[in-house]
A and B are shown apart, each in its own frame.
Chain A
């Protein structure tokens, strides 16, 4: 079955760039679907960060758009998130997920990223 797995540093310094990768297994990204990132600050709700189509078209949350880049690497069957100029407010569990016709059926287990010096 299709599985998603996030990876990346668990600690990022303020003002630096957060970088995460989502490895996809059981399905070829180049075959289709949107692929996305959602985050959840500790004890708070879910926030959609952005999505990328398999062709590379991207869509970002307007509140984060100036700092976010999502890219896809079909050769490695993975997609990535970069969030620049991070602050403590960016501390969160970051999930990669796949929306199927809009609702998110598939999720990675999530990875906690802490922004701290």
Chain B
């Protein structure tokens, strides 16, 4: 099984500041055949299902604000919110789909306003 580990578990950032969440996979999720990283990021607010933000590690889903960006390759990935807005308070999850159709999620990172 591919284990996904996020850091930190929780994070408090001031409005307008940058927020950075890390995700590490226990093995590479980069497929050499297509040079794609099989890694997605989600945002979940209370009482709602997760919302897909980023796929292929760095491709923003349609409608997602451009302050959200994903980076990294292989085993180390980062979700960055360039300028935190109040509506960004949520729990964020990474997910690997390298082993699709079997998937694993990170444990989540809770993002709050400082």
Q: Do A and B bind each other?
A: yes
Interface set of A (CB-CB < 8 Å, partner B): 34, 36, 45-48, 51, 53, 59, 61-62, 95, 97, 99, 101-105, 107-110
Q: Which one, A45, A61, A104, A109, contacts B52 given CB within 8 A?
A: A104
B107 x A103 contact (CB < 8 A): no
The stretch from B16-24, B71-79, B80-88, B95-103 touching chain A is: B95-103
A-B contact count (CB 8 A): 61
Main secondary structure of the interface of B (DSSP, over half): loop
- A6: min CB distance to chain B, Å: 10
Does residue B111 face the partner (Cβ distance < 8 Å to A)?
no
A45 x B40 contact (CB < 8 A): no
- A70: min CB distance to chain B, Å: 11
Residues of B within 8 A of A109 (CB): 48-49
Interchain CA distance A45-B95 in the complex, whole Å = 11
Residues of B within 8 A of A62 (CB): 1
